A and B are shown apart, each in its own frame.
Chain A
């Protein structure tokens, strides 16, 4: 199907809380929220640390290495905007920092996936204002 005939994909609407994450992706940096008091890393961004209840936080750049936690292969576009990409693989990745990222797999098929297989997070520029993460196999 001609992608130009499909509806636009949904775009994130960053909040004050999440804007640093999205700005980080634009700069090809994977930034994660970190509690300023106890140091626990959390994701997705939220106001309070569930370990110590502190509301102060900063941002730490993630190593972008991790392991496969799970995945799915999407064969049906519930949102027609994704029709041109079918089938596509979404991988849930355990980052070394202890949180997870879900992102599409690039450069390989799902037959390469196993639990705990090493993967890396990479970046894809959608356009001048949006970059999304993607997953690639690592050695």
Chain B
């Protein structure tokens, strides 16, 4: 127990999503339910088989909505994992715990984002309790959005280690190239280094093309108990290791002793050990990419390279399809859509099913997905076929 408590005790048995768009006339609830129905059908289950649900903590969808709309009578487990973009992967841990101990058999994890019109990001953020501290001390002087919260972390990393905007561009261009192989992706126009550098500054060192998209849409997965997973419609994708990790000073990056290290640095060794795999075993990695530099930092925090070497690591095609560690094969939040990383889980499952067509990583057997959220929270799942 302990270090390997959740190894292969749960599998993702169904994935689903809606179209990803810039705007929508559908509500967050409608989108979430549509993606959920798609995931449940993909697993070969009936909605009434769902006995656990973890909705997205940021937004208005609650467990009651699933009971009401699907007529559930046997829901035994509901939870929230309020960690921003780390929520979906952290929810995999909670879902795996619920099915491993027999509280539930099939846990639905669903995330939708509705229209952004009239609800700009600063207003959404200010309402979140985990933003109370920055709300009082930092938003009042013009530090109002994630680009501005995270930019000082990236700037310090650049000053300490020589990380460059060319290296940021590598991440953006890699995601864009992958998106061109994904008909679901919102941004498929080719991007050159010059395009990246010419995009307008948002919060230096972040330019527009370092920033993820604003999207509407939803994605969902079904996490099933090991003894149920084998009989379902799809080949199960096993959760070998999973963990969430929280940084020091999680409510204020400004006060964090080392602002170039995320909560993921604490979670990754746990997940790798639990899964019993090493970095060399990872065939494909879907890495949370709200900003280009956040990918570079996570590669370091997971131990693919030493702190400060992430910039060099992403150079030379290493993170592209055909490279040593292909990342964000769907295009990521930077070029597919910002579905808060639930789309990263869906993509990893499809890669490990071998169902990604043109963008399939040949022979992918083991992969990982990360989440990064709020002011540095992290989560990681190491999965295998």
Contacts and interface: CB of A to CB of B under 8 A. Distances in A.
Interface of A: 9-15, 18, 43-44, 69-79, 82, 85, 87-88, 90, 92, 99-104, 110, 114-115, 132
Contacts, number: 104
Contacts of B139: 10, 79
A114 B255 contact: no
A83 B371 CA distance: 32
Chain B CB count within 10 A is highest, among A73, A74, A77, for A74
A73 B160 contact: no
A88 B151 CA distance: 13
Interface stretch (B36-44, B197-205, B319-327): B197-205
A116 B155 CA distance: 13
Contacts of A11: 140
Contact of B155 (A10, A43, A70, A82): A70
Given A9-B140, A99-B255, A70 B156 contact: yes
Nearest to B260: A70
A3 B128 CA distance: 28
Contacts of B140: 9-12, 132
Interface of B: 120-122, 126, 133, 135-145, 147-148, 151-153, 155-156, 159-160, 200-205, 251-252, 254-255, 259
A126 to B, nearest CB: 9
Nearest to B157: A70
A51 to B, nearest CB: 13
B170 to A, nearest CB: 21
Contacts of B147: 76, 78
Contacts of A110: 204
Contacts of A85: 142
A90 B122 contact: no
Contact of A90 (B120, B121, B133, B152): B152
B252 A44 contact: yes
